[in-house]
Amino acid sequence: MPLARAAFLLPALLWVAASFSQVRIQGRVLDARTQEPLAFVHVVPEGQRDGTTTDIDGRFALNVDREPVILRFSYVGYVPTEISARSGAPLSVEMPRAMVELKPVEIRPGVNPAHRIIDRVYANRKLNDGLRNRAHRYTSYSKTIFTAAMDSAVLNNPEELAKLDTSDKEMVDWLDKQHLLLIESATKKSFIPPASEKEEVIAMRVSGLKDPTLLALAASTKTFSVYEPQIPLQEKTYLSPIGPSSTARYLFILQDTLYQGKDTVFIISYEPMPGRKFDALKGVLYVSTDGFALQNVIAEPVERTGNFNIKLQQQFEKVGGQAWFPVQLNTFLYLDMMQVNSFKVIGIGRTYLKNIEVDAPIPRKEVRGPELVMDRIATRRDEDFWNAVRTDSLEAKELRTYHTIDSISEAENVERMVKWFSYLATGRAGIGPVDILLDRVVNYNGYEGIRLGLGAATNDKISRHASLGGYFAYGFKDRDWKYGGDLTLRLKPGHGPTLRPYYAYDVEESGSVAFQGAPRTFSSESYRWIYVDRMDRVERFGGELAFRVNSALKMWLGTERTERQNLIGYQYAEPLSEEITYLTDRFLTGSVSMGLRFAFREQVASLPDRQVPLGTRWPILYLNATQAVDGLWDGEWEVWRVNAMVEKTFRLRMMGDLSLRVMGGMAEEGTPYPFLFNLRGTYSTKVPIGTANTFETMRPNEYLADRYVAIHARHSFGNLLFKGKKFRPVPVLLANAAWGALSSPERQQGYTFSELEGGFYEGGIQLDNLLRSGFVGFGAGFYYRLGPNAFPDPSDNMAVKLTMGFGR
């Protein structure tokens, strides 16, 4: 028995002895020029095969048998570095960037060893993508700093520093003591595949802001999965390096091999194949032979264009021996449009996932409701709470950032300015307890000409539960005043239903189509108002109740009394008998209405003062239905009308974006013009401007219908075909079609129009962004009218227009 016990204990004693004889060396690897930590650097002791990699903060730790020891550091794009290391104080290792680009590597078909590895990663993607395919919980801590991008080669060189002007020197000294901005947040998240999730912000802090809810969306830890075939970044969609046939589009190069115990990690760089034109990423993949899973990922767009760019890093671990899961995330934001003196602003965000439970039994009620939730208590956490959720204590520079920026913010009233800019994003400019409604200031349409006015509404400085608003305006073409007002009552501010009684004396497009909940962004579709010249004077009062049924469905219920009158010659002919016809240009109705917006699996953020839709991958449905009842609110007409619209943008691999919109409607047969449908034509030789989701070769007011269907298809190739440094036109193909019918056209008197028989068809091509001036891009479009409603003269079917878009 003693011999057996000795045989059992001997390996353990030897392991303990070996452990005491080993020396632990730790340190941090930095970019020699920027002093930024380098994630995933390969660290190997001389003469050994096994090594380690730096974590997402550039830190490493490993045990060696002796000291001093030569450590070798290698990293794609950097000069390999060797140092002699001893235990003791943590090392600081600086790696210079490679000054000479590597020569092109010729990879012959069937020879590239990286392809076999990437194919294995793709084959195992569903098993290894724990973030998307496995139920899980975790908590997180995130820290983001904004500072100026400075070259350490300049900062560490007295001669170069002396060349800076006085203001830049002062800025260098100031930023040496604190950052421009510091944001901290902590969350807890639950997820059930395929798409049920909820993340709660349990703490948030922003330097200079007492109320950080303005930036609450930045607390979300939702990130991309490189296993997905397409990766959305910066409002663009990029082809993933892990996808079907990615080896035919990306150039993969096996740069290095790292040994970790029984597993091997292949370090593979990727970039688009020469001559391939698509929205591509570049970076490095670390592939573990344990399941051929991704261990580390570095990704950034190949082309840094515009004023905002991004770079991401992800580190994965096998959690509990079950599944690979991200544990650390880095985000680098390059804000080229912002500068402090001569230095561009950069944001560096680090997120740490903790307490990860994979394949956890999560009840459905845990993920019901909004996807992102934040209560006001999250903004009031004390220092003890923060010390408990942080992965490490704040550095002196970060503590000074809070103190300095908080003081500056209070002295300069920065918080008020930030809130003012947030109001601007919603079309409001706050002045004390009143918001100016910017969309009421100046407008233009073909009926009123230039319309100048002013609108205002009380804000939450008076009451969070009620807002009183009003407006007035004057049209210089119709020479008439308009005015109105409303009272918005919020039962539960930001979350519950709202009740809005209102009154308006204004004008409204005849035969118009509008939907509650549709985004009111300024796009080329807004140009349609240039061609709207048939309007009715309208006086209305009513009330509307708006409420969200769930994350996907929002509804509006209303009732109103409306009096419409046409002042430009239209009359409705109502036959009273075979010999008597009643002509009128006045229509008094009392109606009830229902509207809805349905976005399947739309994600919603529930913040202390509002709910914010976060979008959906599915089509969005809008529906309006109105029923005028004879006698309701003294109404004199019994008519009904239903409108519907479905729209969706598809991100197509290697092909760009395809946007589809389908619209349709029905109205009671033989009803007056205001309750019918004017089919949105925008052809003009005086003001030829391309207008999205309209008929470019159809004359304004050309067709009228009481039932119709219209389809608008737009395919943008983005920069897939042209990738010049400055000349980057965007080719766009368009196709529009409509079908409709009209009963009793003889009842519509005073207006010229046609019935739509046989369908309307047109096609077109645009070259957008031929010229750019700041955020405005100019191009040209050519459109042609087809089918049974084409004109005999081909020149009448053609339209050539200017296109104008906004964005970077």
Query: Which segment of 134-148, 160-174, 274-288 scores lowest on mean pLDDT?
Result: 160-174
Is the pLDDT at 237 greater than 50, yes or no?
yes
Q: pLDDT category, 673, cuts 50, 70, 90?
A: very high
d(CA 697, CA 682): 7
145, 401 contact by CB (below 8 A) = yes
Choose the weakest-confidence range: 74-83, 307-316, 457-466, 514-523.
Answer: 514-523
pLDDT tens readout for residues 176-210:
889 999 999 999 999 999 888 999 999 999 998 88
CA dist., res. 311 & res. 713, Å (int): 33
Q: Is the dihedral of CA 159, 164, 165, 170 positive or negative?
A: negative
pLDDT of res. 754: 94
Question: pLDDT at position 442, please?
Answer: 95
Q: Is-contact 275 252, C-beta < 8 A?
A: no
The separation between the first and the last C-alpha atoms of the chain, rounded to the nearest angstrom, is 79
Say if residue 321's pLDDT is above 50.
yes
Please report which confidence band the pLDDT of residue 440 belongs to, taking 50, 70 and 90 as the band edges: very high
Distance, in Å, from the CA atom of 361 to the CA atom of 135, rounded to the nearest integer, reads: 8
Do the Cβ atoms of 561 and 541 come closer than 8 Å? Answer: yes
Does 110 score more than 60 pLDDT? no
Quick check: 651 pLDDT over 90?
Answer: no
Local confidence band at 726 (pLDDT 50, 70, 90 cut-offs) = low
Q: Is the pLDDT of residue 783 over 50?
A: yes
**pLDDT at residue number 19:** 40
* Separation CA 385–CA 392 (nearest Å): 13
Whether pLDDT at 351 is above 70? yes
pLDDT at 101: 46
Q: Which has the higher per-residue pLDDT, 591 or 22?
A: 591
* pLDDT surpassing 80 at residue 286: yes
User: In the structure, what pLDDT confidence band is assigned to residue 99 with cuts at 50, 70 and 90?
Assistant: low
What is the reported pLDDT for 9? 44
Question: Which residue has tokens 């997905």?
Answer: 228
Residue 193 is predicted with a pLDDT of 92
Task: Pick the closest to residue 303 from 225, 245, 238 (CA basis).
Answer: 238
Give dist(CA 332, CA 36) in Å, integer: 11
3-state DSSP: the chain helix, strand, coil percent, rounded to 5?
15, 50, 35
What are the two backbone dihedrals, phi and then psi, of residue 305, each rounded to the nearest 5 degrees? -120, 160
Residue 89: other Cβ atoms inside 10 A: 8
The DSSP-derived string for 453-513 is: EEEEEE-TTT-SSEEEEEEEEEETTTTEEEEEEEEEEESSTTTS-EEEEEEEEEEEETT--
Checking if the pLDDT of 704 tops 70, the result is: yes
Closest by Cα among 105, 97, 150, 232 to 614: 232
**744: part of which helix (H) or strand (E)?**
none
- Is residue 287 classed exposed, middle or buried when 0-12, 13-18 and 19+ CB atoms within 10 A define those classes? buried
Distance CA 773, CA 769 (A): 10
Residues 6+ positions from 154 with CB-CB distance below 8 Å: 160, 161, 164
Q: How does pLDDT run across 751-774, given as a tens digit for each residue?
A: 999 999 899 999 999 999 888 876
Asked which of 92-101, 215-224, 254-263 is least confident by mean pLDDT, the reply is 92-101
Residue 672 CA: distances (Å) to CA of 131, 258, 565, 575, 666? 56, 77, 11, 13, 13
CB of 221 closer than 8 Å to CB of 187: yes
696 contacts 801 by C-beta, under 8 angstroms: yes
Examine the pLDDT at 306 and tell me if it is beyond 70.
no
Q: What is the pLDDT of residue 109?
A: 52
CA distances, 194 to each of 131, 132, 371, 524 (Å): 10, 7, 14, 36
Tokens of 681: 């034509």
Amino acid symbol at 371: E
Residue 379 CA to chain centroid, in angstroms?
Answer: 25
Structure confidence at residue 335 as a pLDDT band (50, 70, 90): confident
Check residue 324 and give its pLDDT: 93
Instruction: Give me the pLDDT at residue 171, please.
Output: 86
Instruction: Lay out the sheet containing 91-95: strands in order across.
Output: 59-64, 23-31, 91-95
Tokens (6 digits) for 780: 């040209």
* pLDDT band at residue 740 using 50, 70 and 90 as cut-offs: very high
Per-residue pLDDT, 409: 81
Q: Which residue has the higher pLDDT, 164 or 515?
A: 515
Lowest mean pLDDT among 10-19, 507-516, 567-576: 10-19
Per the prediction, the chain carries an average pLDDT of 88
Mean pLDDT across 702-730? 85
Adjacent-strand bridge partners of 346? 147, 334
For the residues 272-279, what does the mean pLDDT come to?
85
**What is the length of the chain?**
808
Would you state the pLDDT for residue 102?
A: 44
